């Protein structure tokens, strides 16, 4: 496929991702603020965002750290929250698995909620795309999200407690995930998994260290898989 097609896909991915900046920026800003309030220095906060680049797991780990949870619980919780990335990778493999190794490594690093949601929707609606166009689209979206996440985290960490509570930055967290999850609820299995996760998260809310979220995630995956199995058997 000509390089111009890949370049065009790159810019299309970039344009598609732009509206999400309204949610990603305050999300990153919030983590920077919360990180410094929890006692992390600037290097630690930035290292967290650059190396992990997984907002939900970062917040989960940070909350447990402020609660003086055992290290093993912090690591296990962060890993469990980020296990969704493994599922994202499995879903992207049929679309991007033929890409060169260095591109797959780059995609693996940049594979997080927003890039996955935008990418997989593009691939499912346009199966005729070449591998170059698919990678280009994905990297275009990542060009919007990743630098914004780093920059917003930096601004939040530098400003720290000077950000007034009236800004209510925490609104960005639920809105970001709602915006991504909503369009993904296309099958009964997706809907059942989402419903079970909400019900179990509420049911297990009293379990220490937010371990109830892990149980809710496991239960949701089991429920969704069972619905898919039964539908396949028909």
pLDDT top residue among 185 and 18: 18
Computed over every residue of the chain, the mean pLDDT equals 84
Query: What percent of the chain has pLDDT above 90?
Result: 35
Q: What DSSP designation does 166 have?
A: G
State residue 1's pLDDT score: 45
pLDDT bin (cut points 50, 70, 90) of residue 109 is very high
**Two tokens, residue 160:** 């720290």
Please state the domain count of the chain.
2
How far is the C-alpha of 92 from the C-alpha of 197, rounded, in Å?
23
Residues 103, 146 within the same domain: yes
Residues 121, 215 within the same domain: no
How far is the C-alpha of 149 from the C-alpha of 152, rounded, in Å?
5
Residue 39 covered by a domain: yes
- Judged against a pLDDT cut of 80, whether residue 209 lies above it is answered with no
Mean pLDDT of 164-192: 64
Residues 99, 208 within the same domain: no
Residues 20, 129 within the same domain: yes
User: pLDDT digits over 29-38, tens only?
Assistant: 888 888 888 8
Residues 163, 50 within the same domain: yes
State residue 205's pLDDT score: 87
Residues 138, 25 within the same domain: yes
pLDDT bin (cut points 50, 70, 90) of residue 22 is confident
- Specify the 3-state DSSP secondary structure of 98: coil
pLDDT top residue among 80 and 13: 13
How far is the C-alpha of 16 from the C-alpha of 10, rounded, in Å?
10
Residues 147, 206 within the same domain: no
Query: What percent of the chain has pLDDT above 70?
Result: 85
Residues 21, 97 within the same domain: yes
- Within a 10 A sphere around the Cβ of 213, how many other Cβ atoms? 20
Ranking 43-57, 103-117, 178-192 by mean pLDDT, the lowest is 178-192
- Specify the 3-state DSSP secondary structure of 39: coil
Helices (H), the chain: 3-17, 21-37, 42-52, 55-66, 71-82, 84-96, 101-109, 113-125, 131-159, 172-184, 188-203, 211-233
Q: What are φ and ψ of residue 115, in 5° steps? A: -65, -40
Q: Structural domain of residue 7, as residue ranges?
A: 3-168
State residue 207's pLDDT score: 83
Residue 164 gets the label, from left (phi > 0), alpha (psi -120 to 50) or beta, of beta
State residue 34's pLDDT score: 83
């Amino acid at each position: 496929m000509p390089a111009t097609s890949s370049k065009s896909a790159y810019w299309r991915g970039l344009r598609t991702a732009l509206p999400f900046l309204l949610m990603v920026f305050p999300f990153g800003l919030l983590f920077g603020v919360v990180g410094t309030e929890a006692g992390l220095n600037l290097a630690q906060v930035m290292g967290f965002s650059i190396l992990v680049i997984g907002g939900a797991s970062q917040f989960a780990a940070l909350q447990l750290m402020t609660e003086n949870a055992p290290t093993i619980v912090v690591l296990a919780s962060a890993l469990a929250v980020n296990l969704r990335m493994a599922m994202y990778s499995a879903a992207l493999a049929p679309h991007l698995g033929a890409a060169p190794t260095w591109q797959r490594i780059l995609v693996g690093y940049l594979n997080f909620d927003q890039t996955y949601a935008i990418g997989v929707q593009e691939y499912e609606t346009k199966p005729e795309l070449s591998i170059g166009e698919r990678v280009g689209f994905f990297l275009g979206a990542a060009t919007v999200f990743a630098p914004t996440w780093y920059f917003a985290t930096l601004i939040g960490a530098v400003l720290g407690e000077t950000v007034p509570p009236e800004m209510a930055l925490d609104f960005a967290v639920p809105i970001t995930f709602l915006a991504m999850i909503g369009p993904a609820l296309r099958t009964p299995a997706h809907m059942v998994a989402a419903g079970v996760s909400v019900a179990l998260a509420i049911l297990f809310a009293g379990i220490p260290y937010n371990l109830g979220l892990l149980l809710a995630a496991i239960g949701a995956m089991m429920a969704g898989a069972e619905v898919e199995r039964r539908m396949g058997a028909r």
